Structure 1
């Protein structure tokens, strides 16, 4: 089993999960996070920390697409080691439908200079 980030993270990018992850397996895109499935140690400490309820176990129904999605973007986005402020409109974006097709960005997060 592994954990993955799903579409409700898009537009929110709460990073509470990053602070509790013991193996630094979160990767940061412009407007969401993903987990590298082969680095996740299945501890589950991140799941209850997500205010957007966007982290799921891969054993839940229909998670295969999210495992592949997380793997793909974790290979091209930078690792995130510490929590940051959520996106400015995170609360408004939480729970909205169709964020994957309407606002998802494939761009990596901007790295601090």
Structure 2
């Protein structure tokens, strides 16, 4: 792949992550659903959730924007290799701080999150 394509993929992955942040902040399960692959799993130590279960929880919880929370999400690192990407992000959310590792694949002409691992840090 040429450098120009690498840059384009890097930007597309960044765009997906920005939509992820917006979806979290607004509690927008439809937006989040559009950037996750349907068979994605969310994983933390001793915890596994399918996408539908997690999206249901997002819909039920308080929305950070309604709480007046700042939009302080950050991309900490992005690695794009071919049609795979790994992104590390910081998500201050509802009084807690999470580090998420998002695995993305480029399939069917789009980048989508296929895996999310996360930890609540103190």
Q: TM-score, structure 2 length as denominator?
A: 0.30
Name whichever structure is richer in helix by fraction: 2
Q: TM-score when scaled to structure 1?
A: 0.31
| Greater strand share, structure number | 2
